[in-house]
Every structure is written in structure tokens, then in C-alpha cells.
Amino acid sequence: MQVTRGQIIARGLANRCPNCGGRTLFKAGTLFELDRACRDCGLKIEKDEGFFLGAMAINYGVTCFGLLAPVVILWYLEVLSGRMAIGLAGALALLAPLALYRSSRSWQLMLYYYFLPQHLPANRRELSGLEDENV
């Protein structure tokens, strides 16, 4: 069965395997240790070195622009006091990257397979099946 881009996005946002939808991205019982491959379908999760630099960029971007920028804007609009804004920004700068760690890894895989869905094993099988019918 072919995996659609909508399924890839839904699975990515739910921190699930983009190929089979299983909750298998991280090793069982660990918070931050990524599994090398999906336990259910065998999708290679650990790609080449540097693949997950994109996840770090996503994590950084969401932390800065999604969380810290609104604090600065609220401080600028005088909704928050300076001390409150510094405290909140400091807490967010420390805690948000940890909280977003798992999701940013999943979002990196989601973006990769959104633009290259033919690289998913489920979609490759579908394509190879079509090729066999044409022969």
C-alpha cells in the first residue's frame, strides 16, 4: 500500500514511523535515543552522518521564532516586565529544545519523506509492482 504525503505529515506530527506508522522511532524505554531502524518495518531511521543537523535547525528555529520571539514582542509591547521576559526567555531557551527533541527528529524525517516519498520502502514496493505488471 502506498503512503501518501498526507499520511507522511500525520505520522511525522505524531512522532511515528513515516513508512508504517508505528511508534518505533526511539528505542523502547529511552527518551532521546533514536533507533537505527524501525522495529516493525525495517525503515532505516539513522541515516548518514549529519542527516539530523536538519532536526537541530528545526529545533532551533521553533525555539527562537516560535517561542522566544513572542516573549520579546510581549516585552516590547510592555505586556511583560523586563525581569519576567528574561526569566521566561531563559527558561524557554533551556527547556524548549529538550521538549522539542523527539518531535524535531520526527519532523526532519517527515520533511525528508514529504519531498522524497518514493524513498519510503512502502512506496518503492508499489512502484516495483507496477513495473512488473508493465513487463
Binding interface with Zn ion (CB under 5 A): 17, 19-20, 22, 38, 40-41, 43
Q: Computed from CA positions of residues 61, 98, 89, 77, in that sequence, does the dihedral angle turn out positive or negative?
A: positive
Cβ-contact 22, 16 below 8 angstroms: yes
User: Nearest approach, Cβ of 64 to Zn ion (angstroms)?
Assistant: 31
Q: Which lies closer to Zn ion via its Cβ, residue 21 or residue 89?
A: 21
Q: In the complex, what is the shortest distance from the CB of residue 43 to Zn ion, in angstroms, rounded to a whole number?
A: 5
H or E element in which residue 12 lies: helix 5-13
Shortest separation between residue 106's beta carbon and Zn ion, angstroms: 12
Quote the least distance from Cβ 97 to Zn ion, whole Å.
26
Amino acid at 125: R
Nearer to Zn ion, 39 or 101 (CB): 39
Half-sphere exposure of 30 (CA within 13 A, CB side): 11
- Of 40 and 46, nearer to Zn ion (C-beta) is 40
Of residues 3 and 71, the one with the C-beta less far from Zn ion: 3
Which H helix or E strand runs over 128?
helix 121-134
